[in-house]
Amino acid sequence: MPVSAEPTPQSRTQAHPVLPDSCCAVSSLPIRKVPDTMSPHSSSFPCDVSLVIVSFNTREVLRESLQSVERERGDLRIEIFVVDNHSRDGSVEMVRSEFPQVQVLPSDVNLGFGAANNLALAKAQGRYVVLLNSDAFLCPNALALAVQHMDEDPKAGLAGGRLVGRDFSLQPSARMFPSILSDLLVLTGLAHEFPKSRFFGRFDRTWADPLEPAEVDWVPGAFSIIRAEALDKVGFFDPNFFLYSEEVDLCLRIQSAGYRIMYWPDIVVIHIGGESSRQIKTLEMSSTGAQLIRWRMRSTLLYYRKHHGARVWLAKILELTVYRLTALRNSFSRDPERRERVNNNRNLVRLMEQAWQDTQGGRMSPPRPWSFD
């Protein structure tokens, strides 16, 4: 679906088409075409970096994020895009007033993370694209180091840095692709119980030295730098992923095209979104929290169906089994906290069954924008 032919608000409400059972439907994804004369290091590129921030009602942290970009741009030729996902907090007005050099791309509907980035990617002219969350802030030299590392490693298609909270506590910054085994280890708590084990800590690479550069499977979307040439080959984000798994899918396609996904820890980025998520210590089922979990489940099913075909059934059965067994194990206790776990896990069963229906077993993405129904 070419980005230049983005659906009208009316047509956006139509469901996305059935996903293929294998992953290589790249031709249907939007692709930015760069003239053949523009090599990755060519001065023919109008700028070095096209930096993209997607925002949804995050005016105050968005301001701080843009300030960090201005501090770190240095001598780089840089263009900045802010894609606003139909915010109602004055974000667009703030950016236009305080950062007139920024190109604002307002959307009349919440497109989600990937599709919103695609609006800017279609206009980007840099030899590298930097994606930065609106709640993420560049630390000193982060941008310069990212460009330097990409220049020095032409096989690096996409890379991330070390994500930290405001207190500089480490956040998961380099991960391995989802699998039934890694899902089992995370869902059962074994990954958390044995973080230093290469086997149990495989998904988040908790066994690895966070100060050592490494080739990895994927990096979180809070910060990443992408080679324009790689995007030209594989296309942009798959808009079927409204939220969650979109960066995993993109990294897999870039890796499949022959590029490496890199983690460079000397690039430091403060990410307060991760800081907030760590405060959620229980699976409390607020209406918003439950819907976000359901969205995560939808994207998980879409990802497994797209890249692993019928094994999506195993992903579903695994989650349902873990939730049901956890509810059963805690149902014999009179402890209030354990009784609450029973309710939470029963709700998780219900949400997974709803997500399966929503996506027809991972074959279809629900109408965009996904709603809190």
Q: What is the pLDDT of residue 275?
A: 41
Residue 16 in this model has a pLDDT that exceeds 70: no
Lowest mean pLDDT, pick from 10-24, 176-190, 302-316: 10-24
Q: Are 247 and 199 in contact (CB under 8 A)?
A: no
Percentage of the chain lying above the pLDDT 90 cut: 81
Mean pLDDT of the region 276-282: 37
Percentage of the chain lying above the pLDDT 70 cut: 84
87 with 225, same domain: the answer is yes
Task: Identify the three-state secondary structure at position 55.
Answer: strand
Of 232, 251, 277, the domain-final residue: 277
Question: Which position has the token pair 């760590």?
Answer: 278
pLDDT band at 373 (very low <50, low <70, confident <90, very high): low
Q: What is the DSSP string of 193-254?
A: H-TT-TTTTTTTTTTS-TTS-EEESB--TTEEEEEHHHHHHH-S--TT-SSSSHHHHHHHHH
131 with 271, same domain: the answer is yes
Tokens representing residue 90 in the block: 């004055």
- Would 21 be classed as within a structural domain? no
Residue 185 in this model has a pLDDT that exceeds 60: yes
- Would 144 be classed as within a structural domain? yes
Q: What is the pLDDT of residue 30?
A: 57
228 with 91, same domain: the answer is yes
Sign of CA dihedral 118, 154, 224, 293: positive
- Would 16 be classed as within a structural domain? no
236 with 353, same domain: the answer is no
What's the pLDDT tens digit per position in 167-178?
999 999 999 999
Question: Which residue did the predictor score with more confidence, 26 or 371?
Answer: 371
Mean pLDDT of the region 277-289: 49
231 with 344, same domain: the answer is no
- Would 3 be classed as within a structural domain? no
256 with 306, same domain: the answer is no
Of 277, 296, 325, the domain-final residue: 277
115 with 227, same domain: the answer is yes
Q: What is the pLDDT of residue 137?
A: 98
* β pairing state of 260-271 and 136-138: antiparallel
Report the domain count for the chain.
2
148 with 34, same domain: the answer is yes
Identify the domain containing residue 50 by its residue range: 27-173+210-277
Mean pLDDT of the region 325-343: 94
283 CB burial (10 A radius; 0-12, 13-18, 19+): middle
pLDDT band at 200 (very low <50, low <70, confident <90, very high): very high
Domain at 242, CATH number: 3.90.550.10
- Would 192 be classed as within a structural domain? no
CB-based contacts of 173, cutoff 8 Å, min separation 6: 160, 161, 162, 163, 210, 219, 220, 263, 265
- Would 43 be classed as within a structural domain? yes
Q: What is the pLDDT of residue 283?
A: 40
What's the pLDDT tens digit per position in 212-269?
999 999 999 999 999 999 999 999 999 999 999 999 999 999 999 999 999 999 999 9
Mean pLDDT of the region 323-350: 95
76 with 214, same domain: the answer is yes
Q: What is the pLDDT of residue 37?
A: 33
- The two most distant CA atoms of the chain are separated, in Å, by 71
Lowest mean pLDDT, pick from 17-31, 157-171, 184-198, 355-369: 17-31
- Would 188 be classed as within a structural domain? no
Of 245, 277, 309, the domain-final residue: 277
- Would 54 be classed as within a structural domain? yes
What's the pLDDT tens digit per position in 54-77?
999 999 999 999 999 999 999 999
339 with 217, same domain: the answer is no
40 with 75, same domain: the answer is yes
Amino acid at 345: N
Q: What is the pLDDT of residue 273?
A: 81
What's the mean pLDDT when you consider all of the chain? 87
300 with 231, same domain: the answer is no
Mean pLDDT of the region 301-314: 98
Q: What is the pLDDT of residue 8?
A: 33
Which of 261, 365, 354 shows the shortest CA–CA distance to 306? 365
Lowest mean pLDDT, pick from 27-41, 74-88, 148-162, 284-298: 27-41
